[in-house]
Amino acid sequence: MLTAFARAFKTPDLRKKLLFTLGIIVVYRVGTHIPIPGVDYKSVQQCVDEASGNQGLFGLVNMFSGGALLQITVFALGIMPYITASIILQLLTVVIPRLEALKKEGQAGTAKITQYTRYLTIALAVLQGTGLVATARSGALFNGCTVASQIVPDRAIFSTITMVVCMTAGTAVVMWLGELITDRGIGNGMSILMFISIAATFPSALWSIKKSGDLAGGWIEFGTVILVGLVMVGLVVFVEQAQRRIPVQYAKRMIGRRSYGGTSTYIPLKVNQAGVIPVIFASSLLYIPALIAQFSGGNSGWKTWIQQNLVKGDHPIYITLYFLLIVFFAFFYVAISFNPEEVADNMKKYGGFIPGIRAGRPTAEYLSYVLNRITWPGSLYLGLIALVPTMALVGFGASQNFPFGGTSILIIVGVGLETVKQIESQLQQRNYEGFLR
């Protein structure tokens, strides 16, 4: 593997891409530490230290921003608005015929959908930036912090607008940096930035577990967490690479004097076809009632019930709802992202068939049957992986500090595998051995 790295840096154009990607990553990490105007940075740092391991409702968003959200920096919103906009556009493509037609137009239609995603990202950044400023002013961003109300000392309208504009501009810059990596670097830019944001939180989280441990100065807890993380990474790699291959054969066709077809291939159906999307959907949906209860006044019965059952991650009702929502969204996302009837029609159009299955409707029914069977273990796997932080809460008493949560491991492993495959293909084009044997 080290030899493959050396060969990658010895290739001039691949070296330029790798160095360019590393340079953009450095710029991104610098931006996550630049505070926006109008914020008392000392109060923020004091609250961050006090809230270590108890990030509450904002833990997921803070993870995606690389810890910049709670520090209220220029890149506080991080890549989250773009992720949300992409998911919304992907769902709307199924509902709105105009977007579905654009998707079928090829590169020109994809460029328009990308432009719509950018506009929606900016709009969401304005909304989320305004919400973050309001939350920081109310002191709800850091529950229990003694100086939480002093984070934003200036409450003038101009100061609020300035803060929102800075965070929105930071989101636009993050989006631009991601597109630069995609065009001139290695891998998908947005995925790489998401990977870096999550990986940046690992050292501090691991060290806080070591400091809070009691066995042998915390080293036993530290080693146990590392061991559990390695086992989880191995499990996630195994499942993410697992796929059911549906064999497809194409009949020979004579066009003029040439014969086409007669080849055999397969349709790869991944066990985890939905990726990390169901976990994000389920987390976001469970945050909504908790946020409503947090900002509503009074002590009504429904607010007390939500705070007791849906805020604490170790409560049985929360665990059950979280698991069921992940399973539901896994089936839902697979249903809208893979259309068996469309695949069957395309196969029939080009003379393809599954051995032993008639073309047309029987092929679509067979694909639906296989997809449902492999989605069940995939959805259960997602639910179990996502509940690892809850198990850590029970076992170690540190849910937010536990770095190897389901969402973070899924994203890191997925992005890592795709990036390695891209470098692998670049090396193989130059007759070098790659990372994989």
Q: Are 408 and 196 in contact (CB under 8 A)?
A: no
Pairwise CA distance, residues 433 & 148, whole Å: 55
CA distances in angstroms from 423 to 29, 253, 413, listed in the order given: 23, 37, 15
CA distances in angstroms from 137 to 71, 132, 151, 159, 306, listed in the order given: 14, 9, 7, 12, 23
For residue 308, pLDDT over 80 is answered with no
The torsion angles phi and psi of 413, rounded to 5 degrees, stand at -65, -45
- Helix residue ranges, H only, 296-387: 301-309, 316-337, 340-349, 361-386
Pairwise CA distance, residues 409 & 404, whole Å: 6
For residue 7, pLDDT over 80 is answered with no
Residue 227 — very low, low, confident or very high, per pLDDT cuts 50/70/90? confident
168-189 as b/e: b if 16+ CB within 10 A: bbbbbebbebbebbbeebbbbb
The region of weakest confidence among 127-141, 201-215, 224-238, 416-430 is: 201-215
Average pLDDT in the 162-183 region? 92
Average pLDDT in the 231-240 region? 86
Of the candidates 240, 244, 300, 242, the residue with the CA atom closest to the CA atom of residue 267: 244
pLDDT tens-place string over residues 312-361: 666 778 888 888 988 998 998 888 888 888 888 888 887 788 888 888 88
Which residue did the predictor score with more confidence, 419 or 259? 419
Which residue did the predictor score with more confidence, 130 or 137? 130
Query: What's the pLDDT at 45?
Result: 77
Query: What's the pLDDT at 399?
Result: 44
Question: Which contacts (CB < 8 Å, 24+ apart) does range 118-124 have?
Answer: 118/85, 118/175, 120/85, 120/88, 120/89, 121/81, 121/82, 121/84, 121/85, 121/171, 121/172, 121/175, 122/81, 122/168, 122/171, 122/172, 124/81, 124/84, 124/85
β-pair partners for 264:
249
Query: What's the pLDDT at 119?
Result: 93
| Percent of the chain predicted with pLDDT > 90 | 12
For residue 386, pLDDT over 50 is answered with yes
Q: Are 129 and 21 in contact (CB under 8 A)?
A: no
Pairwise CA distance, residues 366 & 280, whole Å: 30
Which residue did the predictor score with more confidence, 390 or 361? 361
Residue 398 — very low, low, confident or very high, per pLDDT cuts 50/70/90? very low
In terms of average pLDDT, the best of 3-12, 242-251, 304-313 is: 242-251
Pairwise CA distance, residues 66 & 28, whole Å: 10
For residue 169, pLDDT over 90 is answered with yes
Average pLDDT in the 386-394 region? 67
Query: What's the pLDDT at 259?
Result: 63
Query: What's the pLDDT at 272?
Result: 87
| Reduced DSSP (H G I as helix, E B as strand, rest coil) percent helix, strand, coil of the chain, to 5 | 70, 5, 25
Query: What's the pLDDT at 143?
Result: 64
What single letter denotes the amino acid at residue 160? T
- Helix residue ranges, H only, 96-218: 97-104, 107-138, 157-184, 189-200, 202-212
Element spanning 250, H or E: strand 243-250
Query: What's the pLDDT at 96?
Result: 85
pTM score, two decimals?
0.78
CA distances in angstroms from 117 to 71, 123, 130, 193, 433, listed in the order given: 27, 10, 20, 17, 38
Pairwise CA distance, residues 174 & 65, whole Å: 10
**Cβ neighbours of 349 (radius 10 Å):** 9
What single letter denotes the amino acid at residue 204? S
Q: Indicate the average pLDDT of the chain.
A: 80
Query: What's the pLDDT at 222?
Result: 79
Residue 51 — very low, low, confident or very high, per pLDDT cuts 50/70/90? low
